Amino acid sequence: MTSLFEPMTTDISIHDLQELIRTMYYDKDAARGATATFLWFTEEVGELAAAIRTGSHEELQGEFADVLAWLVTLANIKNVDLAQALASKYGTGCPGCGKLTCQCPDSEKP
């Protein structure tokens, strides 16, 4: 079996992660659909919440990875290029105030 990463490194781009998840899971993900996948994503967010409260560093790493993988899965199902979406929204600074270091009032969601 050929891997996209030989060997897997800790330095992986958003684009490469999205392609990796697509290669590994797309057929299953597409068959499951966005609604069911969103439910799995929210379950993983709940597991991350529990790990933030009482988990070890190792548990936190696993749960953060799971949440990110399920988010990428949703993007794949909905045909959203995450690298492009991130660059578009955050590539020139805060979407609220336009500054590299956000200057939005604390009462506003940037």
Provide the percentage of residues in the chain whose pLDDT is more than 90.
85
Q: What is the reported pTM?
A: 0.86
Q: What does the DSSP 8-state code read for residue 110?
A: -
Distance CA 31, CA 25 (A): 10
In SS3 terms, 38-106 reads as: HHHHHHHHHHHHHHHHHCCHHHHHHHHHHHHHHHHHHHHHCCCCHHHHHHHHHCCCCCCCCCCCCCCCC
Whether the predicted pLDDT of 5 surpasses 70? no
Q: In the predicted model, what is the mean pLDDT of the chain?
A: 92
Question: pLDDT tens across 7-30, in order?
Answer: 566 789 999 999 999 999 999 999
Q: Which domains does the chain have, with CATH numbers?
A: 14-79 (1.10.287.1080)
